C-alpha cells in the first residue's frame, strides 16, 4: 500500500506550523507531500518547493490552479488530502473549494471565522463523506488519550469540577514595541484573526481539551476579556466561567501576556472518587489524585494504559515524545479514515469539533460584549 499523496496550502519558508505538519506527516509515515501553494508570493513558493524536493510543476500559484491541475491527473497520481495551514480568515474559503472538488482535508484551527461558516463546512463534509481533521494537536498526546479513556470508564466517579488554563507570554515583546510591530502581526488584526486573539488562538484549545477528555459539552459561558492595551482591538487575556449543568461548573483561564511563560497548558478534572491532571509542558505524565490512595503517575508505553494511549506511543518507555508525535497521531487517524480502516473515535478531531470551537469563541466574545453575562453555546 503506497503513501497517500498530500498537498499543502501555506506553510512555506519560515512558517512554524507548516513545518510541524510536514514533520508529523513524515513521522506518521503514511503521507508524501507532493505539491501545493506554499506562499502568496509565487517566487518564494517555488523557492520553498525546490528546497523540499517538490516538482516545479506541482508548485502552484493559486488554489484554483492547483485544483484544476490535480483533477486533470490520473486518480492514482493526484493529491488526495490537503493540509491547510494559512491564517484564520483563509480557512473557510479554501476548505470549501477543496471539499467541493473531492479532496480530504487536514485544517488548522480555528476552522473558520464565523459559526455559520463552520456549520456550512460540517454540512459539506456530511454530504461528501470526505475525511476532515481539525488539528487540535494536544488531543494526540498519549496521556491525554489515557485521561479520556479513564474518565469514560468512570474512574473518577461523579465529575464535580473541570478547570483548564493556557498561559503564554510571547506577545509581550510585540505589544510593548512600536505601533508598526502591532500592525504587522496578523493575530492582532480582526480581518485576519477573527473576533478574538487569545480565546480564538489558545483558549479554544483549552475548551477542546475539556470536551475531548470528559466527553461533556459546555452549555453556557460567562467571560471577562482584556485587550491589555488601548490600541489593541482583540483580547489578549481572559477568564471564562463554564456551566455544564446546574451541578457541574468550571473555568478556563487563557492569556498571551504572562511574562516568561511559554506554553503552559493544564487541564484538571475533579471527581468524587479521584481527580486527573495533565500538563502540556510535561506531556508524558498524567497525575491521579485520591483521598484514599497515594498520588499515581501514569506514563506512556506501559501495559496499564488504555489501547488508544498505547497506540499513540512509538518509542519504548522512558523515551520522551512531544508535539510532533502528537500531531503525527492525528495524521495517523486521518490515514486510517481515508483508507477505510477501523479507527477509534477520538483519534482525530473532526469538523464537528470545529463547529463547537467556533460556537465557544463567539459565545465568549458575546458574553464579554454584553457586560459579562451568561451566554448559551
Q: Is 217 part of a structural domain of the chain? A: yes
* Domain identity same for 198 and 51: no
Q: Are residues 132 and 150 in the same domain?
A: no
13 and 127 share one domain:
yes
pLDDT at position 239 is 98
The enclosing H or E element of 226 equals strand 220-226
N residues, the chain: 377
Domain end (from 76, 105, 138) = 138
Of 138, 159, 192, which residue sits at a domain end?
138
Q: Is the same domain home to 173 and 115? A: no
Is 312 among the domain residues?
no
Based on the domain organization, do 82 and 198 belong to the same domain?
no
> What DSSP string runs through 1-47?
-PPEEEEEEE--TT-HHHHHHHHHHHHHTSEEEEEEE--SSHHHHHH
Same domain, yes or no: 104 and 191: no
Residue 194 maps to which CATH number?
Answer: 3.30.360.10
CATH no. for residue 30?
3.40.50.720
Per DSSP, the three-state class of 129 is: coil
Q: Which cell is 215 given?
A: 466527553
Closest of 69, 94, 70 to residue 84, by C-alpha: 94
pLDDT of residue 191: 83
Q: DSSP string spanning 102-168?
A: T-EEEEPSS--SSHHHHHHHHHHHHHH---EEE--GGGGSHHHHHHHHHHHTTTT-SEEEEEEEEE-
Residue pLDDT tens, the chain, 377 long: 799 999 999 999 999 999 999 999 999 999 999 999 999 999 999 999 999 999 999 999 999 999 999 999 999 999 999 999 999 899 999 999 999 999 999 999 999 999 999 999 999 999 999 999 999 999 999 999 999 999 999 999 999 999 999 999 989 988 887 544 554 577 788 888 889 999 999 999 999 999 999 999 999 999 999 999 988 899 999 999 999 999 999 999 999 999 999 999 999 999 999 999 999 999 999 999 999 999 999 999 999 999 999 999 888 899 988 999 999 999 999 999 999 999 988 999 999 999 999 999 999 999 999 999 999 99
Residue in this structure with the C-alpha cell 476579556, named with its chain if needed: 225
**149 lies in the same domain as 121:** no
Is 134 within the bounds of a domain? yes
Q: What is the pLDDT of residue 189?
A: 81
Q: Would residue 315 count as lying in a domain?
A: no
Under 8 Å CB-to-CB from 137, ≥6 apart: which residues?
A: 20, 323, 326, 327, 330
Are 312 and 145 spatial neighbours (Cβ–Cβ below 8 Å)? Answer: yes
CA distances to 141, 280, 300 from 318, rounded to whole Å, are 15, 17, 8
For residue 36, tell me if it sits in a domain: yes
What's the pTM? 0.95
pLDDT, position 178 = 56
**Same domain flag for 91 and 28:** yes
Is residue 335 in a domain? no
Is-contact 371 225, C-beta < 8 A?
no
In-domain check, residue 149: yes
Q: How many CB atoms lie within 10 A of CB 335?
A: 24
Question: HSE-up of 65 (CA within 13 Å, CB side)?
Answer: 12
Whether 198 and 87 share a structural domain = no
Whether residues 159 and 125 share a domain: the answer is no
Query: Is residue 332 included in any domain, yes or no?
Result: no
Based on the domain organization, do 110 and 197 belong to the same domain?
A: no
User: 92 is in which domain, residue-wise?
Assistant: 4-138
Question: Are 32 and 124 contained in the same domain?
Answer: yes
Structural domain count of the chain: 2
Choosing from 86, 109, 138, the residue where a domain stops is 138
Amino acid at each position: 500500500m503506497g503513501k497517500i499523496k498530500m498537498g499543502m496550502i501555506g506553510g512555506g519558508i519560515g512558517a512554524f506550523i507548516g513545518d510541524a505538519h510536514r514533520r508529523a506527516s513524515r513521522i506518521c509515515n503514511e503521507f508524501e507531500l507532493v505539491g501545493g501553494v506554499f506562499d502568496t508570493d509565487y517566487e518564494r513558493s517555488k523557492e520553498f518547493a525546490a528546497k523540499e524536493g517538490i516538482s516545479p510543476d506541482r508548485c502552484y500559484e493559486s488554489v484554483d490552479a492547483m485544483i484544476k491541475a490535480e483533477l486533470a491527473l490520473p486518480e492514482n497520481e493526484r493529491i488526495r488530502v490537503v493540509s491547510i495551514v494559512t491564517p484564520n480568515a483563509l480557512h473557510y474559503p479554501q476548505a470549501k473549494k477543496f471539499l467541493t472538488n473531492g479532496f480530504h482535508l487536514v485544517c488548522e484551527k480555528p476552522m473558520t471565522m464565523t459559526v455559520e461558516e463552520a456549520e456550512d463546512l460540517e454540512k459539506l463534509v456530511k454530504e461528501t463523506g470526505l475525511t476532515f481533521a481539525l488539528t487540535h494537536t494536544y488531543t494526540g498526546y498519549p496521556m491525554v488519550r489515557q485521561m479520556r479513556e479513564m474518565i469514560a470508564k468512570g474512574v473518577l466517579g461523579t465529575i464535580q469540577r473541570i478547570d483548564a488554563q493556557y498561559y503564554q507570554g510571547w506577545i509581550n515583546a510585540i505589544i510593548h514595541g512600536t505601533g508598526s510591530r502591532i500592525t504587522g502581526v496578523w493575530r492582532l488584526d480582526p480581518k485576519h484573526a477573527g473576533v478574538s486573539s487569545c480565546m480564538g488562538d489558545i483558549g479554544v484549545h483549552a475548551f477542546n481539551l475539556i470536551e475531548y477528555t470528559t466527553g461533556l459539552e459546555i452549555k453556557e459561558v460567562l467571560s471577562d476579556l482584556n485587550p491589555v492595551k488601548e490600541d489593541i482591538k482583540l483580547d489578549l487575556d481572559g477568564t471564562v466561567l463554564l456551566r455544564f449543568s446546574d451541578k457541574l461548573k468550571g473555568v478556563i483561564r487563557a492569556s498571551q501576556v504572562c511574562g516568561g511563560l511559554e506554553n503552559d497548558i493544564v487541564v484538571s478534572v475533579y471527581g468524587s472518587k479521584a481527580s486527573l491532571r495533565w500538563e502540556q509542558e510535561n506531556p508524558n505524565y498524567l497525575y491521579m489524585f485520591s483521598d484514599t490512595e497515594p498520588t499515581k503517575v501514569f506514563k506512556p508505553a506501559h501495559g496499564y494504559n488504555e489501547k488508544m494511549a498505547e497506540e499513540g506511543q512509538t518509542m519504548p518507555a522512558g523515551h520522551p515524545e512531544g508535539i510532533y508525535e502528537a500531531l503525527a497521531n492525528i495524521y495517523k487517524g486521518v490515514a486510517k479514515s481515508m483508507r477505510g480502516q477501523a479507527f477509534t473515535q477520538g483519534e482525530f478531531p473532526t469538523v464537528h469539533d470545529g463547529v463547537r470551537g467556533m460556537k465557544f469563541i463567539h459565545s465568549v466574545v458575546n458574553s464579554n460584549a454584553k457586560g459579562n453575562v451568561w451566554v448559551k453555546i
